[in-house]
Structure 1
Amino acid sequence: MKELMLHLHENSPKYKQIYHSIRSLIENKELHSDTKLPSIRQLAEILHVSRNTTLVAYEQLLAEGYIRSEQKRGYFVEAFETIDIHIPTLHAEKYITEENNIRVDFRAGSVDQHAFPLKAWRQCVNEVLKEDIVYMYGEQQGDSLLREKIANYLLQSRGIRTSADSIVIGSSTQQLLMHLCIILKKEYSSIAVENPGYDGARIVFQLFGFQVNPIDVIEKGLCMKQFEQTDSKLVYITPSHQFPTGVTLPIAERLQLLKWANSQNGYIIEDDYDSEFRYQQQPIPALLSIQQDSRVIYISTFSKAFLPSIRLSYMVLPSELLDQYKQHFATFEQTASSIHQRTMARFMERGHWDSHIRKMRATYKRKIQTLVTSLQLAFGKTIRIIGSHSGLYILIQLQNSVGEKTLIQQALEQGVKVYPTSHLYIGNKPDVSMLKLGFSNLSIEDIQLGVQLLKKAWT
């Protein structure tokens, strides 16, 4: 083929127009396989462009496999099969319509964006951007300054005596659990978990081949009688604010767990995800604070108390596991942003973190009180409220036989989004549906409106 007429205009680079035009002709099968194309010189003369322009277009087509070059013969259309992809849109359109009608979203896991200390955070970011650290990958265990600030904070707020060297920073709780699983899998094959409990952790354990043994959560937290019957030598728990029920593990059970870990040569993975937010008493001391050299792996995060998108979590490792961690991950790069790590260190160093926690504790206390009071006025004795003294969400049970999916759909029809808890159970689920309502990113007015709409939906 010596003639290849293409229409070019002045609005974009001509080599791009030639490339896109020829590619389109090939994809639409207007240029068939093995068709000979004009030479670079011929096409340049036909289109009144430079030879370099047609050369660049042909090189891009060659690189992507649309054409091939045969020595002393020229350029030919390459043979390939196009794929017809059908994307169903019916369900997506319905979902988008429902999402657009949401007036109140009781989602947990977000923060009050109006109360976020943006000015202080921005000042710290601007300072950090002038430091050499932003041009590096970062330290393998995490920023040393941040680890020092975390160690000081854990001593003051959680009673944990540790050093910066024992702390490992990661991008999320799940990422840290993955690293833990790599280390622990060599010696342990099963792990006990709370039921109901955090499914994000359970998925990680299952991904790494651990046998997951569910232990029921009762009024006092983990059912110790049932726990003692398991052969697992690892246990993952949320003792200060059990997820999702909000139960706090009493001191007797805590001491029993510590004794078990020592006698069984096992480990307790303590997830302390939102301990900052208790509204009636001071934060409960961490398990690790009871016995400093205990076989406890302490994990926490900045996502709940500060900002989910910052992707900063950390863990405190016992000395024997710390040595193994350093051996396994010596050549691994740090997964969390060096900029965010150093910024958080500066934020804590200047006292902004403590101030932020005090402010948010007061803010969230007002919100949870508003939510609980509004629900009690709207539903009276027909509703049971669980976990109203701590955390960033509550659970509710309506004393009727309506299923979880139906309740969620009824709420959605009134423009309110509430969340299920059935996926947090292993095996048998409760007879009465239990729903999760977060409140952290809602205003007082939004909370009151949401409850009124729920009353309309469910009564």
Structure 2
Amino acid sequence: MKNIIFTFKDGSPKYKQIYEQFKLFIEQGDIRTDEQLPTIRQLAESLQVSRNTTLMAYDQLVAEGYIRGEGRKGYFVNELEPALFQQGTAPRNEQQTESTTPVLVNFRADAIDQAHFPLKAWRRIANRILTLQESFQYGDPFGEVCLREQLAAYLFQSRGVKANAEAIIIGSSTQQMLIHLGHILKEDFPSVIVEDPGYDGAREAFQFHRLHFETLPVYETGADFSQLGQMQSRLAYVTPSHQSPIGVSMSIQQRQMLVHWANEIQGYIIEDDYDSEFRYTQRPFPALASIDAQRVIYLGNFSKCFLPGIRLSYMVLPQPLLNRYKDRFRHFESTASLLNQLTMAKFMEEGEWSRHIKRMRLIYRRKMQHLAAGLKNEFKENISIIGEQSGLYLLVKVHMEHSEEWLIKQASSYGVKVCPTSLYVVNNYSVRPIIKLGFSSLSHEEIQLGVQLLKKAWS
């Protein structure tokens, strides 16, 4: 094969430049079909780069079909039609070039740890459930009694919520339950107080019913209740145990203030307790619904703490709303899988759920600490970390003269996917950009690599 001569340019990762140069050689026919490429070690030595750099370039070429790996023989060029690349080839714009960068580390916040998922226990129970007669029928429109009974016991033990199984409704997701709930609330409650910043999925559900918004500002120090008494809404949606996305927890004084407000105006609080299982410094805080079950609508789910694809959520309704809800939806089928409900009920009954939560709390705490320590070591005073006490993600406030868009784009160019927080904001924007880093699905090695790549990207 002809000698490969590279002149590296500043501003672009070296693996990306190697990948693009080989891609050009292949498309132009300079490297022919079935021709063998240099080994990873040979190429690394000739270009004076690390083996990991050349491996990343080859991996991308393999993924796109330009080359193939043949075991211990090495890498070879696949057959292409060079003329297709030579005719009408337009210069690639910046966006197209970026899309070819492989994602090496994805700090997504919507995934769980696959390596420690209790697959054997879940499969064993699920197989047994499929032998039961009730698995071959339509289920209860409000959720299977066996799961509602298990949830009632669990909520009392873990969250202090005294709930009768009849008051629990099972559904497929938090958004779906909010949309259903909106049908029985919108006539009496034309507006709702939402946290700012706050969960955008809840706002979308409220907008579905054309509810008007009033905003409750939330900062790193907590929510600002100073204007609560002047607001017109009698309905409030909050995430008190682990505010989404800021991560702060509502103090007992604020919880009592909010419950007092709801009683005084005869309103309701929708408490979204989406990931309260994972608190790393103290025991999970008692739920708002444990203070006043008559004025709090309690929401929970199995997506964050167990498996997103299971599509199981639940809510506990105060009696007046429960009667209206059942009257409205008694003729509708359940939106949650019958098989998953029955399996989860038995999973909880046999103690597998409690064992899983205890195990994952320890695993996620170690990942949280590893990520936080790595960020502090690499960035020092250039960042502030928000939300180390609980949850499955960290927020990073960046004290550099860069926008959120630039930080995300630059991270992507180095193969790191990070998440914005601006989408959670209504009006209460931060002076400095804040980036969201989920860690639950990553190994310690991936977390370390991701932090190192972010250091290079943002420097």
User: TM-score, length-normalised on structure 1?
Assistant: 0.78
For residues 420 and 93 of structure 1, what CA distance do their matches in structure 2 show?
Answer: 21
Q: Using the TM superposition, name which of 441-450 and 130-139 deviates more.
A: 130-139
Kept after mapping to 1: 8 A contact 2:196/2:428: no
* 1:342 to 1:97, Cα distance in 2 relative to 1, 3 A: farther
1:286 aligns with 2:290: no
1:239-276 Cα shifts (integer Å, max 9, x gaps) = 00000011100011100111111110100000000000
By how many angstroms is 1:223 displaced? 1.2
* 1:159 to 1:103, Cα distance in 2 relative to 1, 3 A: same
Kept after mapping to 2: 8 A contact 1:258/1:294: no
For residues 266 and 96 of structure 1, what CA distance do their matches in structure 2 show?
Answer: 53
Amino acid at match of 2:323: D
By how many angstroms is 1:179 displaced? 0.8
By how many angstroms is 1:222 displaced? 2.4
Q: Report the counterpart of residue 456 of structure 1 in structure 2.
A: 456
* 1:234 to 1:381, Cα distance in 2 relative to 1, 3 A: same
1:158 aligns with 2:159: yes
Secondary structure of 2:331's counterpart equals: coil
Secondary structure of 1:288's counterpart equals: helix
Kept after mapping to 1: 8 A contact 2:108/2:419: yes
1:207 aligns with 2:191: no
Matches within 5 A, 1:387-406: 387-406=387-406
Count of aligned residue pairs for this structure pair: 370
Q: Report the counterpart of residue 358 of structure 1 in structure 2.
A: 358
Secondary structure of 2:233's counterpart equals: coil
1:345-384 Cα shifts (integer Å, max 9, x gaps) = 0100110000000000000000000000000000001110
By how many angstroms is 1:333 displaced? 0.4
Q: Report the counterpart of residue 312 of structure 1 in structure 2.
A: 312
* 1:95 to 1:307, Cα distance in 2 relative to 1, 3 A: farther
Q: Report the counterpart of residue 186 of structure 1 in structure 2.
A: 187
Larger-gyration structure (1/2)? 1
* 1:329 to 1:96, Cα distance in 2 relative to 1, 3 A: farther
1:339 aligns with 2:360: no
Q: Report the counterpart of residue 228 of structure 1 in structure 2.
A: 229
Q: Report the counterpart of residue 115 of structure 1 in structure 2.
A: 116
For residues 135 and 187 of structure 2, what CA distance do their matches in structure 1 show?
Answer: 36
For residues 361 and 288 of structure 1, what CA distance do their matches in structure 2 show?
Answer: 23
1:197 aligns with 2:192: no
For residues 434 and 135 of structure 1, what CA distance do their matches in structure 2 show?
Answer: 49
For residues 179 and 145 of structure 2, what CA distance do their matches in structure 1 show?
Answer: 22
Matches within 5 A, 1:231-250: 231-250=232-251
Amino acid at match of 2:202: A
Q: Report the counterpart of residue 255 of structure 2 in structure 1.
A: 254
Q: Report the counterpart of residue 301 of structure 2 in structure 1.
A: 301
By how many angstroms is 1:220 displaced? 4.6
1:143 aligns with 2:151: no
Q: Report the counterpart of residue 87 of structure 2 in structure 1.
A: none
1:12-34 Cα shifts (integer Å, max 9, x gaps) = xxxxxxxxxxxxxxxxxxxxxxx
Q: Report the counterpart of residue 378 of structure 1 in structure 2.
A: 378
* 1:315 to 1:120, Cα distance in 2 relative to 1, 3 A: same
1:134 aligns with 2:135: yes
1:169-210 Cα shifts (integer Å, max 9, x gaps) = 000000000111000012110000000000000011111010
1:5-52 Cα shifts (integer Å, max 9, x gaps) = xxxxxxxxxxxxxxxxxxxxxxxxxxxxxxxxxxxxxxxxxxxxxxxx
Matches within 5 A, 1:79-94: none
For residues 226 and 92 of structure 2, what CA distance do their matches in structure 1 show?
Answer: 46
Q: Using the TM superposition, name which of 306-315 and 256-265 deviates more.
A: 256-265
1:411 aligns with 2:422: no
Secondary structure of 2:230's counterpart equals: coil
By how many angstroms is 1:95 displaced? 6.6
* 1:227 to 1:91, Cα distance in 2 relative to 1, 3 A: farther
Kept after mapping to 2: 8 A contact 1:220/1:250: no
1:426 aligns with 2:426: yes
Q: Report the counterpart of residue 349 of structure 2 in structure 1.
A: 349
Q: Report the counterpart of residue 446 of structure 1 in structure 2.
A: 446
Q: Report the counterpart of residue 177 of structure 1 in structure 2.
A: 178
Kept after mapping to 2: 8 A contact 1:220/1:249: no
Kept after mapping to 2: 8 A contact 1:174/1:200: yes
By how many angstroms is 1:227 displaced? 2.1
For residues 93 and 349 of structure 2, what CA distance do their matches in structure 1 show?
Answer: 47
1:326 aligns with 2:326: yes
For residues 95 and 193 of structure 1, what CA distance do their matches in structure 2 show?
Answer: 38
For residues 103 and 165 of structure 2, what CA distance do their matches in structure 1 show?
Answer: 45
For residues 455 and 367 of structure 1, what CA distance do their matches in structure 2 show?
Answer: 19
Amino acid at match of 1:352: E
Q: Report the counterpart of residue 268 of structure 2 in structure 1.
A: 267
1:63-115 Cα shifts (integer Å, max 9, x gaps) = xxxxxxxxxxxxxxxxxxxxxxxxxxx99996797376110000002100000
Amino acid at match of 1:299: L
Amino acid at match of 1:376: K
For residues 441 and 377 of structure 2, what CA distance do their matches in structure 1 show?
Answer: 22
* 1:107 to 1:92, Cα distance in 2 relative to 1, 3 A: farther
For residues 91 and 110 of structure 1, what CA distance do their matches in structure 2 show?
Answer: 33
* 1:92 to 1:353, Cα distance in 2 relative to 1, 3 A: farther
1:383-433 Cα shifts (integer Å, max 9, x gaps) = 100001100001001111200110001100111000100011002521210
Q: Using the TM superposition, name which of 338-347 and 419-428 deviates more.
A: 419-428
Amino acid at match of 1:225: S
Amino acid at match of 1:427: N
Amino acid at match of 1:246: G
Secondary structure of 1:323's counterpart equals: helix
Kept after mapping to 1: 8 A contact 2:219/2:246: no
Q: Report the counterpart of residue 8 of structure 1 in structure 2.
A: none
For residues 235 and 327 of structure 1, what CA distance do their matches in structure 2 show?
Answer: 24
Runs of 4+ in 1 over 2 A off after TM superposition: 90-100, 218-222
For residues 95 and 171 of structure 1, what CA distance do their matches in structure 2 show?
Answer: 37
Amino acid at match of 1:415: G
Secondary structure of 2:217's counterpart equals: strand
* 1:224 to 1:347, Cα distance in 2 relative to 1, 3 A: same
Percent identity among equivalent residues? 51
Q: Report the counterpart of residue 83 of structure 1 in structure 2.
A: none
Q: Report the counterpart of residue 437 of structure 2 in structure 1.
A: 437
For residues 355 and 313 of structure 2, what CA distance do their matches in structure 1 show?
Answer: 20
